[in-house]
Structure 1
Amino acid sequence: MKQFLFSLIFLVSLLASAQSKVGGIVVDDSGSPVAFANVLFKNSTEGTITNDNGRFYLESESTYDSLVVSFIGYETLEMALKAKVNYNMRIVLSEGQEQLDEVVVYVGKQSKKNNPAIDILKKIWAKKRVNGLRKFKQYQYDKYEKIEFDLNTIDSALMNSKLFKGLEFVFADLDTSRITGKTYLPLFLNESASKVYGDNALKEEKEEVLGNKNSGFSNNQAIIGFVEDLYSDYDIYENYLKFFDKSFTSPLSRTGIDTYNYVLSDSAFVDNKWCYNIIYYPRRKNELTFKGDFWVNDTTFAIKKINLAVTKSANINWVKDIYIEQEFEVVSDSVFLLKRDYMLSDFSFNKKEQSRGVYGKRTTVFDNYTFDIPKPRNFYKTVSDPFDPVVFGRDSTFWANKRLESLNKDEQGIYKLLDTLKTVPKFKTYYNIVSILGSGYIEIDKWNIDIGDIYSVFGYNDAEGVRIRGGARTYFGQNDLWRLQGFTAYGFDDRKFKYGISAKFLLDRKSRLIISGGNRRDIEQLGLTLNPTTDVLGRSIASSAVLTVGANDRLTNINLSTFNVEMEPLTNFRVRVGSSFRTLSSALPEAFSLDYIDPTSPTGISSEIKQFDITTSLIYTPGKRTIGYGVERRNINDNYSTLLLNYTKGISGFLESDFDYEKVQFSYTQPWQIGGFGRLFSTIEVGKTFGEVPLGLLNVIPGNQTLFSIYNTFPNLDFYEFVTDTYASLHLEHNFNGRLFSRIPLLRKLNLREIVGLRGVWGDLSEENIQLSSPTNIPLIAPNDQIYWEYSFGIGNIFKIFRIDFNFRGNYLDNPEARPFSVTGTFGFNF
């Protein structure tokens, strides 16, 4: 995501024109801004709502000569527009003189009792389950979508800067946003056309992508994936609308009356349907809410038109504005179906009015609805390939027929301009820089190789001391059917080279049949996960952490070879069968021993484990979405669950393997969106080992001696503090996304986020396994007397990037050098 946003700032193209443009501020008689005032072109339904500071901007492709400004408690004001463009307007509203006979509505918080707007809202709730597509057994419709990204707040300082020297031609045509009034420079355009089929009785829906076209970035699934994740579908009738991993309370929500103020503002004919106009705005600041208005029909109580703008105080990072418009058409005189959906997001490092950023705009148009044409269930199970090269190679005739909304002259120019930009050396340089920062790889196009990743160059641990690493991978394109990758590293204390190499090949696209294999010789901290590592390229953060709590000296030399066959017979259901051969020994024998009793050894003790395993894995990820059709695909969402079942068979004798054993492990990870109360992340994991194995093959309860907050570990446990052959663990972490802190006046403006965690594990270790590893120099203890547990309180979004967790140990405080309390943290760019 960062790569894409940064790249946008260095790309280019142009804009649109409008016939009427107005902008300015609305104030009262004392000069104080009037927030959430209604601003409309006279005799139209085209309007907007002033922001928290009373400012507004509005434009239309039609020409209007008057503007109407109103708000409850003030006299409605009608202003003549002297020109097509009227900026910097200062509109003064006077307090109303007339009193309403029955209902008295005040500026600010509105009453929940005797409020006609809330009476209408309750009727919307009663009807929402039978409106729109839900009225029919089956449905079909055409869908056209265009996505545009623009660099905004273009001024003379930016145009004359050294950054754009030699690229001045990109500023030949500039325009202003009809939503924000800012000058912008288009950078990217994506179009897609598809056919959607659905069956309400079967609860099935599928979308066939017929065509997809990108400006200047042919077949760039990374950008498409970013767009799909950014602009996931939503239903305004749902209680919560999810954007950027946050749940915003819908103004049509049943909980809306506790979150929003509602005002019945007007009633009028909209497309020959009598509708009520309701204005809404939040009751409190710093919550994930909108402001805006909607028009609702007086008989079906279906929404005809709605506007939603995220409030400036909403607890969300890197997004200054979100603006949504939806329009519905009337079918058969009573059925309201979605006709057009428009969404604009303004990405910026801060929310100051003058700050530059990037607009992300999505326009979706729906047409040609047909109903009650049944399809067999198998029809919905057969999914077409959205990344078929044919889909990306549609000609101009196809797009002329499938565009449900024509491109304006400026959007048409984006394709030509970006093709020109790709030939400009300076633009190529900028693009390469942001590509390296975003992906971590340096592209060597003439060799089809990437060097990197650059973020793994430096490391440190007690065994290697300072460590440097370099790597490379083959890269012909995003949909490569095969990939080779490798690295080499050197430790300055142990004076040894390490390496890793892997190869993977996609043999069949339909079934996702992949074979892979590799070898790695390295030093690793194996006490960070319950599952044995099969990664021949990666490395845990605990193996390279510069700062740790206590001695990070329980490190292992690992020589790992793997071979795997994987396929996906059903969508999101993978079957993997693999074999591995590993040699394990302590990297620091004086501090950490993997010794075990071995009657075949001359000394009766061995310090090295050789083990051959065969593992079968079943992995189910319902709801997971990916992009690409090559050997490596990218995930474009993170709200899916993961169910994993592993069966491992250790075979002795083969390749001098040491042990016969069986191991069964199951884990279930699930994110839960708890309405407006944030997001809960949960993981349940159980496992058992059958047979006698030494310490290096047992299940170590994941400790964490680093200063980083690492999910699925126990931050108050040292590495190898608990060792098991039978275990069950639970991890819960809930992020309230600032809902509690927003109620505290002194903390409200800081936009902090509260995180709570609870984790526990029970485990056992047989006497036979304890005796087998008796020569080791660390105690072998399992949490079998009682469940070991911890809890934590965290504060996130500190300066928008930092998070600190305060972790408390619940029991086993008598263990040697037990840590009752710890502080960990992390940083990152999160919405």
Structure 2
Amino acid sequence: MKRLLAVLVFCWASLAMAQTKVGGMVLDPEGDPVAFANVLFKNSGEGTITNDDGRFYLESEARYDTLVVSFVGYARREIVLPGRVNLGMEIVLEEGEQLDEVIVYSGKQSKKDNPAIEILRKIWAKKRQNGLRLFRQYQYDEYEKIQFDLNTIDSALMASRVFRGMEFIFEDLDTSRITGKTYLPVFINEKFSRVYGDNALGQEKRDVLGNKNSGFSNNQAIIAFVQDLYAPYDIYDNYLKFFDKSFTSPLSRTGIDTYNYVLADSAFIENKWCYNIIYYPRRKNELTFKGDFWVNDTTFAIKKINLQVTRSANINWVKEIYIEQEFEVLSDSVFLLRRDYMLSDFALNKKEKSRGVYGKRTTVYDNYRFDVPKPGKFYQQELNPIDPQVMQRDDGFWETNRLEALNRQEQGIYAMLDTLKTVPRFQTFYYLASVLGSGYIEIDKWDIDLGDIYSVWGYNEAEGIRLRGGARTYFGQNDPWRLEGYMAYGFLDKKFKYGFSGKWLLDPGRRLILSGGNRRDVEQLGLNLTATTDVMGRSIASGSILTVGNNDRLTNINLSTLTLEMEPMANFRIRFGGSYRTLKSALPEAFSLDYLDPSAPGGISSQIRQFDLITTLIYTPGKRTIGYGVDRLDVNDNYSTLFLNYTLGLQGFLESDFDYRKLQFSYTQPWQLGGFGRLTTSLEAGKTFGSVPLALLNVVPGNQTFFTIFNTFPNLDFYEFVTDTYTSLHLEHNFNGRLFSRIPVLRDLNLREIVGIRGVWGELSDANRLLSSPTNIPLLAPTDQVYWEYSFGVGNIFKIFRVDFNFRGNYLDNPDARAFSITGAFGIHF
């Protein structure tokens, strides 16, 4: 009881640290909540708006004694504040008020008569990109602070058994100025950069001069996740992308069809006369914001803006998104971004009292300089990311370059987490979360990881029940080399399988990597047109529990590889290597890989030995990664991939059987189509020169599992179509609920509609047909017409499940052709 009382006293003291704090609800005369009402301290520019439920919270470092609440169609109210902290307020607005300074409109207004719309059109005409594009050259300092906090901390949580032995962490509680919830900081990352740009050359360079982490700084997966959450954005763009979703910007040219705009006020802000415009969405369940902005009356540049995602928006695991941006006036015509603040409230559901995690990013810009030319070579020189001076700056560096001081709670994070990491209970929680997230069990004393745990059990018709266990070396997040391996056992064939690989980073600057390995296993080949030589990879079809029809077209593979890879420029990789494969059917009676071989007894061989030289070019423009070891993690997934592969088969070398050449190309591109969702496209083409048997041909990837797998044809059986020349196209579009949000019955379910269409054309030469004539499966190619399928899917079922209904477009007279199938997938998506 004494401990709880002490915590409550501490919380009260924390609340009193700010000069003024207010919170509560705004209601109409009938007691219903008033959403989007203005709440501000009198004679100040500090304010907020109520959320969908009429709730608000506002705090200031200054001392105020009067609160002003207003909304279109209601009388303005001024409430005298009896103390510094006033929470749980209920403010009732009476109907009937007109502003004196401007004419106010409510509801869905005509585009011709609404003054807010006219101002918006002038913003479009004069929109700018932070003013930087008005100068030939520019440079500035950028300080970024990313912080994660546990929120909704109450006495029940603090007294729970989960935190037994860790009570000291609650000494750093604070209260959010946006939501009014008590929170506990658990992670902070600070980064100081100097940015240079040349508009004439079209070049920009960002030098990271300091980077400081606390909390889970040694977990690359968490760091990559954090960086992907906070991708850059520009409020003048038509769409703002957060969490893989495109939100319509209130400054968008399509905004007048998405938002209601109201001219609410006008005032001087830093000696500039500005208009205040409130905006809120016309419809529910769309990816929209609510809030307001101040815009200058002559330049029509934004001075201040805040954006808050509506509760009804079709987005998972995120309860709140709140953004503030402030611009400074350099001259009468130049407004530069000064401060950017974003808060995200992550929670399992959107209930008011649900607990979760705050993700907060604050970026401060200062020390702008213009028209200082730099030579072209300057922009090609990058600082060494391995330099420990960048990653381990001392306190003096941060005191000098931190453009916004840390508050008391933020300062305490570093010391608190150093202590927390020594607590056994916390170590257990973190360990379990790390295992579930990575799939690997860490054995620190041996410097290895066991896993992955998600591949332990499987089943197929050749092996029956299959068990697999693996391990990899892991000394740290930036290991210069890594060894990895696994062993598996099939209870039906009673055979052991294995795979192992190693890779070494020879030159970190040019990303020169030597890798190699060997694998002996049972595999479902032909699931990709553009095949890889990854000795550790395994397709889901080889271990799927349930399949459609007979899943017996499996191959015994013995694969050895040796590859040298380098990255001469960012996101452009070159690989050169060799592979040696031995291939034969795992179930010869059901699936034959026989081919004509005059040198073999009986003129037929059932095993292939093949040595290939492989050259691969991979270009991934826009890809961002984290880390500088031999393994790096991707930060984003919105980049395109161009892949060019040339394979040269050498007959006779190491008793290799065939002499051939194969050229393959693929291009994958995700397209964010604004408010219409995300389109994913994949184009592949290839040709084999020379005669090769079935095992070396290009199989059109079928899918006999119940899983939705992109780039496969779910209504094709394995090996139904075989080609030596092919072209395929896959299109899949996720509307992210845009259509369902307009259907009253489906609106509140937050479902997402997905459509897909895919097709492939290919041919198979007579020489290759003859070579593989002894096989016991038909050799068909989609030559007469393009084989195609289409599908309709529903995603976000219970937030984790997706189901697709797939239809076959033609070739319905093929043996055992499947005209219809249902596939599904599990996943956690925003």
Q: TM-score, normalised by structure 2?
A: 0.97
Between the aligned partners of 1:220 and 1:532, the Cα distance in structure 2 is 32
> Does the residue aligned with 1:438 lie in a helix, a strand or coil?
helix
- The answer (yes or no) to whether the contact 1:131–1:302 under 8 Å persists in 2 is no
- The answer (yes or no) to whether the contact 1:567–1:576 under 8 Å persists in 2 is yes
Aligned residue number for residue 336 of structure 1: 335
Residue type at the aligned position of 1:731: H
State the Cα distance separating 1:390 from its structure 2 match. 2.2
- The answer (yes or no) to whether the contact 1:15–1:186 under 8 Å persists in 2 is no
Aligned residue number for residue 782 of structure 1: 781
Which range moved further: 209-218 or 716-725? 209-218
Aligned residue number for residue 3 of structure 1: none
- The answer (yes or no) to whether the contact 2:26–2:33 under 8 Å persists in 1 is yes
Aligned residue number for residue 62 of structure 2: 62
In structure 2, the CA distance between the partners of 1:102 and 1:182, relative to structure 1 (3 Å rule), is closer
Deviations 1:124-156 (A, max 9, x none): 101113761121111100000111100011112
Deviations 1:414-441 (A, max 9, x none): 1011111111122111111111111111
Aligned residue number for residue 656 of structure 1: 655
Between the aligned partners of 1:278 and 1:672, the Cα distance in structure 2 is 32
Aligned residue number for residue 38 of structure 2: 38
Aligned residue number for residue 152 of structure 2: 153
Between the aligned partners of 2:110 and 2:54, the Cα distance in structure 1 is 23
Aligned residue number for residue 5 of structure 2: none
State the Cα distance separating 1:15 from its structure 2 match. 8.1
Which range moved further: 360-369 or 166-175? 166-175
- The answer (yes or no) to whether the contact 1:15–1:173 under 8 Å persists in 2 is no
Aligned residue number for residue 73 of structure 1: 73
Residue type at the aligned position of 1:778: I
Do structure 1's residue 510 and structure 2's residue 515 form an aligned pair? no
Deviations 1:149-182 (A, max 9, x none): 0001111221111111111111124221110011
Between the aligned partners of 1:317 and 1:284, the Cα distance in structure 2 is 18
Do structure 1's residue 179 and structure 2's residue 178 form an aligned pair? yes
State the Cα distance separating 1:217 from its structure 2 match. 4.2
Aligned residue number for residue 51 of structure 1: 51
Residue identity over aligned pairs, in percent, reads 76
Which range moved further: 130-139 or 804-813? 130-139
Aligned residue number for residue 412 of structure 2: 413
State the Cα distance separating 1:41 from its structure 2 match. 0.8
State the Cα distance separating 1:238 from its structure 2 match. 0.5
State the Cα distance separating 1:228 from its structure 2 match. 1.4
Do structure 1's residue 687 and structure 2's residue 686 form an aligned pair? yes
In structure 2, the CA distance between the partners of 1:85 and 1:387, relative to structure 1 (3 Å rule), is farther
In structure 2, the CA distance between the partners of 1:206 and 1:224, relative to structure 1 (3 Å rule), is farther
Aligned residue number for residue 488 of structure 2: 489
- The answer (yes or no) to whether the contact 1:219–1:392 under 8 Å persists in 2 is no
> Does the residue aligned with 2:601 lie in a helix, a strand or coil?
coil
Aligned residue number for residue 222 of structure 2: 223
Which range moved further: 160-169 or 321-330? 160-169
Residue type at the aligned position of 1:46: E
Do structure 1's residue 756 and structure 2's residue 764 form an aligned pair? no
Aligned residue number for residue 255 of structure 2: 256
Residue type at the aligned position of 2:657: D
State the Cα distance separating 1:97 from its structure 2 match. 5.2
Between the aligned partners of 1:383 and 1:790, the Cα distance in structure 2 is 48
Between the aligned partners of 1:489 and 1:400, the Cα distance in structure 2 is 55
State the Cα distance separating 1:18 from its structure 2 match. 1.8
Aligned residue number for residue 739 of structure 1: 738
Deviations 1:546-600 (A, max 9, x none): 0111111100000000000000001111000010000001011111000001100
Residue type at the aligned position of 1:430: F
Residue type at the aligned position of 2:697: L
Between the aligned partners of 1:532 and 1:119, the Cα distance in structure 2 is 56
Between the aligned partners of 1:659 and 1:99, the Cα distance in structure 2 is 85
What are the residue-to-residue correspondences of 1:287-298 with 2, within 5 Å? Answer: 287-298=286-297
Between the aligned partners of 1:223 and 1:175, the Cα distance in structure 2 is 24
Aligned residue number for residue 315 of structure 1: 314
What are the residue-to-residue correspondences of 1:276-675 with 2, within 5 Å? Answer: 276-675=275-674
Between the aligned partners of 2:828 and 2:691, the Cα distance in structure 1 is 46
Residue type at the aligned position of 1:29: P
Aligned residue number for residue 123 of structure 1: 122
Between the aligned partners of 1:492 and 1:474, the Cα distance in structure 2 is 28
- The answer (yes or no) to whether the contact 2:501–2:516 under 8 Å persists in 1 is yes
In structure 2, the CA distance between the partners of 1:431 and 1:203, relative to structure 1 (3 Å rule), is same
- The answer (yes or no) to whether the contact 2:515–2:562 under 8 Å persists in 1 is yes
> Does the residue aligned with 1:181 lie in a helix, a strand or coil?
coil
Between the aligned partners of 1:193 and 1:341, the Cα distance in structure 2 is 15
Aligned residue number for residue 706 of structure 1: 705
State the Cα distance separating 1:531 from its structure 2 match. 2.7
> Does the residue aligned with 1:583 lie in a helix, a strand or coil?
strand
Between the aligned partners of 1:358 and 1:443, the Cα distance in structure 2 is 25
Between the aligned partners of 1:338 and 1:197, the Cα distance in structure 2 is 15
In structure 2, the CA distance between the partners of 1:157 and 1:219, relative to structure 1 (3 Å rule), is closer
What are the residue-to-residue correspondences of 1:72-221 with 2, within 5 Å? Answer: 72-96=72-96, 105-106=105-106, 108-129=107-128, 132-218=131-217, 220-221=219-220
Between the aligned partners of 2:794 and 2:558, the Cα distance in structure 1 is 40
Between the aligned partners of 2:433 and 2:14, the Cα distance in structure 1 is 25
Q: Which structure's relative contact order is higher, taking Cα pairs within 8 Å and 6+ residues apart? A: 1
In structure 2, the CA distance between the partners of 1:15 and 1:695, relative to structure 1 (3 Å rule), is farther
Between the aligned partners of 1:412 and 1:714, the Cα distance in structure 2 is 55
> Does the residue aligned with 2:379 lie in a helix, a strand or coil?
helix
- The answer (yes or no) to whether the contact 2:23–2:87 under 8 Å persists in 1 is yes
Residue type at the aligned position of 1:170: I
Residue type at the aligned position of 1:59: E
> Does the residue aligned with 1:140 lie in a helix, a strand or coil?
strand
- The answer (yes or no) to whether the contact 2:669–2:682 under 8 Å persists in 1 is yes
Between the aligned partners of 1:628 and 1:362, the Cα distance in structure 2 is 21
Aligned residue number for residue 826 of structure 1: 825
State the Cα distance separating 1:103 from its structure 2 match. 5.6
- The answer (yes or no) to whether the contact 2:67–2:80 under 8 Å persists in 1 is yes
Aligned residue number for residue 5 of structure 1: none
> Does the residue aligned with 1:528 lie in a helix, a strand or coil?
coil
Between the aligned partners of 1:98 and 1:545, the Cα distance in structure 2 is 67
Aligned residue number for residue 729 of structure 2: 730
Aligned residue number for residue 6 of structure 2: none
Deviations 1:658-704 (A, max 9, x none): 00000000111111111111111001110000000000000000000
Between the aligned partners of 1:570 and 1:165, the Cα distance in structure 2 is 51
> Does the residue aligned with 1:526 lie in a helix, a strand or coil?
coil
- The answer (yes or no) to whether the contact 1:214–1:220 under 8 Å persists in 2 is no
> Does the residue aligned with 1:629 lie in a helix, a strand or coil?
coil
Aligned residues: 817
Residue type at the aligned position of 2:74: Y
Between the aligned partners of 2:142 and 2:399, the Cα distance in structure 1 is 14
Deviations 1:495-521 (A, max 9, x none): 000000000000001110000000000
Between the aligned partners of 1:104 and 1:83, the Cα distance in structure 2 is 33
> Does the residue aligned with 1:257 lie in a helix, a strand or coil?
helix
Deviations 1:469-516 (A, max 9, x none): 111111000100000000000000010000000000000011100000
State the Cα distance separating 1:382 from its structure 2 match. 2.4
Which range moved further: 396-405 or 378-387? 378-387
Residue type at the aligned position of 1:574: R
Which range moved further: 380-389 or 333-342? 380-389
State the Cα distance separating 1:737 from its structure 2 match. 0.6
Between the aligned partners of 1:533 and 1:227, the Cα distance in structure 2 is 30
Between the aligned partners of 2:742 and 2:385, the Cα distance in structure 1 is 45
> Does the residue aligned with 1:603 lie in a helix, a strand or coil?
helix
Aligned residue number for residue 246 of structure 1: 245
Between the aligned partners of 1:15 and 1:390, the Cα distance in structure 2 is 36
Deviations 1:244-282 (A, max 9, x none): 000000000000000000000000111111111000000
Residue type at the aligned position of 2:795: G
